[in-house]
Amino acid sequence: MFYSYLKETLRVNSLDLKKIYSKATFIVFILDDESYLKKLDFLNDYININFSNLISALKKTKSKEKIISTDLDREYIFVLIEEEIDSFFFTEKTYVHSKRLLENNFDEIVIIAPEYSRFEKIFVSEKTFYINILEGVYLACYQNKIYKERIIKFPKVFINANSDIVEDLKKNLEAIIKSSFIAKDLVNASPEEIYPSSICRITKSLFQKEKFLKVKVIDWKKLQKEKLFGLIFVGKGSAKKPAMMILEKKTKDAKFNVVLIGKGITFDSGGISLKPSSGMSDMKADMSGAAAIIAAFFALKNKKLKFNLIGLLPFAENMPSGESYKPGDIIRYSNGITVEVEDTDAEGRLILADALIYANKYNPDVIIDLATLTGAAVVALGENIAALYSNDDLLSADLIQAGLETNELLWKMPLFERYCKALESQVADLKNYGGKWAGSITAALFLKKFVGKKVKWAHIDIAGPSFKNNFLSFSKDYMSGFGTKLIRQFLLNLNEKI
């Protein structure tokens, strides 16, 4: 009975089912639903379960979970699904249990899940439903062993999917997750090793065998010639000088040009406006936007795009020293806009402004910038949702859709022009800091001043979901690498529309 069930539900006719069962452990999602529980009767051939008693016991536990071990060193992990779940539920559960299973050398996992039709209101598609189930298993394979020998090895995963899409999904998802691990490695590494010139070298090395991509670097000596004065001011206080890296994926007969901009503050002390020491070690991840874009380019290496894709990544360390820029300084940008420095800890927008101006060299049709820009975005939306600002409703809708498909969620925020008053300066065109109220909005309005009038633009403030947090198990121990999957999916969806 068990083998026939697997053949029917796992859609893997060539599989050695006896061999799988002899090694695999099971993660079983259950519902308090008699018709569904009948489908799990096959488990009673191998483990004695009274589902009525099991569900009663699960309801009394805080976790709604129970692990049953057998004499054959296999485990059956039962997870009760109640009515109130969100799109992170399956990823969270498969991550937690897969991580422990992998640590105990289980490398074959069978997941038994309900039909997608029961969760249509939560997930945008059947494909997304399966991705969320499988993703937790693959994320559990990440280990922050940047300084140790590491081989990424994913376990064998089988799922009772009533769809032929799952096997293809697994192959694609493995490649996507490996790409996102690039971003995670970069943002979790020591800032002693990840700084402007080193990340440029690492990225060049990453793409050196790839003919599809050109990597250019504007180093410290060339920044003055290119008039990247925001980047010069922010980075000049560090012994590790700033640079801007350019990634170009050109396409013959391209339909249009897309520019991705990523904030690359490799360490943010706050500069002269020094941050509190508590939590400052996490500021190595203030280049999460740039890291996600590097990883997204890597994830797209085998994809033929119908448009030119350009990445502009300004890198700097924001450090206090005798050379540092100061509150009260005036920055004169190459497009003529002058900015009074109100707060040196509002540095991200200053380097992004340079990149937004520089983007005009590529006649962009679309610009998307990704940045850990403000704590205000975290206050507004918490640690799981990024703030989206845009001058184009269709672009916003496409980004939000990509977020739903990848579970890297966005929420559209207002570009309320009246708040520009907070950025007014008596001695310059703008101040770089508009005060504590509506800080995420005023930061976006500042950036908007540097965007061409005819360009479709989106700013994504990823300060919440990029850093470690305790709300999700898979982002509790490490910086997340948020944005890699989102940007990749958005670009692929855009490619299909052309």
Given 240, 349, 431, 488, which residue is catalytic? 349
Tokens of residue 455, six digits: 């360009």
Q: What are phi and psi of 64, to 5 degrees?
A: 60, 35
**Radius of gyration, CA atoms only, the chain:** 24
Question: In angstroms, what CA-CA distances link 350 with 224, 255, 315?
Answer: 15, 31, 12
Told to judge if 349 belongs to the known catalytic residues of this protein, a careful annotator would answer: yes
Cα distance between residue 284 and residue 315, in whole Å: 12
**Taking the CB of residue 51, how many other CB atoms lie within 10 A of it?**
18
* 306 CB-near residues (< 8 Å, 6+ apart): 251, 254, 255, 495, 498
Q: For Cα atoms 153, 159, 161, give the angle at the middle one, nearest 5 degrees.
A: 140
Given 275, 332, 412, 448, which residue is catalytic? 275
Question: Mind spelling out the 3-state secondary structure of the chain?
Answer: CHHHHHHHHHCCCCCCHHHHHHHCEEEEEECCCHHHHHCCHHHHHCCCCCHHHHHHHHHHCCCCEEEEECCCCCEEEEEECCCCCCCCHHHHHHHHHHHHHHHCCCCEEEEECCCHHHHCCCCCCHHHHHHHHHHHHHHCCCCCCCCCCCCCCCCEEEECCCCCHHHHHHHHHHHHHHHHHHHHHHHHCCCCCCCHHHHHHHHHHHHCCCCCCEEEEECHHHHCCCCCHHHHHHHCCCCCCCEEEEEEECCCCCCCEEEEEECEEEEECCCCCCCCCCCHHHHHHCCHHHHHHHHHHHHCCCCCCCCEEEEEEEEEEECCCCCCCCCCCEEECCCCCEEECCCCCCCHHHHHHHHHHHHHHHCCCEEEEEECCCHHHHHHHCCCEEEEEECCHHHHHHHHHHHHHHCCEEEECCCCHHHHHHHCCCCCCEECCCCCCCHHHHHHHHHHCCCCCCCEEEEEECHHHHCCCCCCHHHCCCCCCCCHHHHHHHHHHHHHHC
Told to judge if 275 belongs to the known catalytic residues of this protein, a careful annotator would answer: yes
Tokens of residue 167, six digits: 């096997």
Cβ burial of 401 (10 Å; 0-12, 13-18, 19+) is middle
Give the distance, in angstroms, between the CA of residue 395 and the centroid of all CA atoms in the same chain: 19
Q: Which residues are catalytic?
A: 275, 349
